[in-house]
Amino acid sequence: MSADLHAPLGQSRKTGGARRRVPSPGALAGGFFVLGLLGLSFYSTFAPLPLTTLQPTDLPEVVASADADVLKPDAEQGLQASRPRSGANVERTVTEDGSVVTKYSPRQRDGKGPVLIGAQDIGQDPRMAAFPDDDLLEDTPEGRIPVVGPDGLRSVDLYARPWSGARGTRVAIVVGGIGLSQTGSQKAVRELPADITLAFASTGNSLTRWMQEARRKGHEVLLQVPFEPIDYPANDPGRGTLLTSRSAADNLKSLHEAMARMTNYTGIMNYMGGRFLADGEALEPVMRDIGERGLLFLDDGSTARSLSGDFAKAIGMPHAYGNLLLDGQLDRRAILDKLDELERIARRSGGAIGTASAFDETILAIRDWAKDASGRGIEIVGVSAFATDSEQ
C-alpha cells in the first residue's frame, strides 16, 4: 500500500485495471429525448407562430354599427341614406372560414314605441351631404319643403356642421347673399373655410347647384328670406317679401315658396325685416311654422325691437341672434377690425355670431382671419351650435 502511494503516477498501474463505464443504449435514448424536449421548448419560445392565410370570400356588405348610416346604390343619385334611428333589420351570416358577419339594414318604423329626439351626434354622412333626406321633406302646392321626420329627426340636426362640443371660445360667421351674384357665390363657396356658414338668398339663382357644392365642401347652410323693413316700400327687399299688411295664410304661402327653392339647410335667416320682426301678430304664425318644420331661426340682430327670440322661447324652437355686422364698411382693414371685435365679444361671453355678405373684400378678410383663429383658441362652428344650445 505504501509503495503505491509514493510511486510516480501511472508507472505502477496495472494494464488490466478497471475499465471506463460505457452508457447503455436505453440511457442514450433517454438523453436524446430530453435534449429534444429542451430544443423544442427553446424554438417555441423564440420562433414566431405560423399564421394561416385565409382565402378571400365574397362577403355581404358589413355595417359596423346600427348607429351608422346605411348606404345603398341608387340609380339617380349613386347613394341613398337611411336614417339610423328608425330601427334596423339584423342579418348574420356564417362564412366558409367560420367567421360571423353581421349586416344591418334599415326598416320602416310602424309609428309605435318610443322615439329618440336630438341627433346632433349623428348628423349626415359626408358622402350624402349634397343630397336631401326624403323623409325630411313633404310635398306641398308650393313645392317640397322641410318637415320633421317620422322618428323625430329635424333638418337642424341632420344638416348641422359637427363641432367639438368643447365649451371654449366659439365663433360662428354667417356669409349671406349666396346666389345673388355668380362671381360672389363662386368665390364664397370655393374660398371660404368649410366652417363658415353660408346663407342663400331665396331670390337668388342656381341655388341647388351652389348648395350642393357648398355641402360637399362641408359648409352648413341657411335660407335667407326677405322680411318687411321699416321703410317699406321705399326700401323693397324683393319678390316674396313677408309683409305685415298681408294675411297669415299669404305670408306662409310666400314662406313655403321660399323654402322650396333649395334643400339641406338647417334654418331660416331674415333679410331685413325691421318692421315685420317687431309685429307680433304677423310674426307668430311664421315662427311657429318654422319651428314645427324642424328648422332654426337666425335673427341677424339688425333691429333691437325684434320679437323672434320671445316667440322662439315660447314655442321651444332653436334660435340665435347675430352679435355683430362685419362688413357695414366695405373695407378689408375695417372688416378685420370687426372680426377682432367679434373675437373679444366671444372671449367675454363664450361665443358670438358675426354676419356679413358675399362681397370680395368680406370673403378675403374672413378667409385670412380664419386661418389663425384656432391658434388663438377660437373654434369656428356652424350657427346651429348656438341655436340648439339656446333651445336647450
Same domain, 85 and 204: no
Residue 135, all three cell numbers: 323623409
Q: Residue with C-alpha cell 326624403?
A: 134
Same domain, 78 and 179: no
Does a structural domain hold residue 3? no
Same domain, 197 and 319: yes
Where in the sequence is the domain holding 278, given as residue range(s)? 138-391
Same domain, 85 and 198: no
Q: Is 252 left (phi over 0), alpha (psi -120 to 50) or beta?
A: alpha
Does a structural domain hold residue 117? no
Same domain, 193 and 80: no
Same domain, 236 and 280: yes
Same domain, 75 and 183: no
Does a structural domain hold residue 237? yes
Same domain, 261 and 164: yes
Q: Last residue of some domain: 74, 93, 110? A: 110
Does a structural domain hold residue 25? no
Same domain, 229 and 82: no
Euclidean distance between CA atoms 271 and 203, whole angstroms: 11
Does a structural domain hold residue 95? yes
Enumerate residues 6+ apart whose C-beta is below 8 A from 108. Answer: 86
Q: Backbone phi, then psi, for 108, in 5-degree steps?
A: -75, 140
Does a structural domain hold residue 132? no
Same domain, 147 and 86: no
Q: Last residue of some domain: 110, 129, 149? A: 110
* CATH number (domain holding residue 264): 3.20.20.370
Does a structural domain hold residue 292? yes
Q: What is the pLDDT along the chain (392 residues), one digit of tens a residue?
A: 444 444 444 444 444 444 455 555 555 556 656 566 556 555 554 454 444 443 433 333 333 333 333 333 343 444 444 444 444 454 556 566 655 455 545 555 555 554 444 444 446 788 899 999 999 999 999 999 999 999 999 999 999 999 998 889 999 999 999 999 999 999 999 999 999 999 999 999 999 999 999 999 999 999 999 999 999 999 999 999 999 999 999 999 999 999 999 999 999 999 999 999 999 999 999 999 999 999 999 999 999 999 999 999 999 999 999 999 999 999 999 999 999 999 999 999 999 999 999 999 999 999 999 999 999 999 999 999 999 877 75
Does a structural domain hold residue 189? yes
Euclidean distance between CA atoms 188 and 175, whole angstroms: 8
Euclidean distance between CA atoms 12 and 113, whole angstroms: 110
Total number of domains constituting the chain:
2
Same domain, 69 and 203: no
Same domain, 162 and 90: no
Query: Is residue 88 helix, strand or coil?
Result: strand
- Indicate the residue type of 190: R
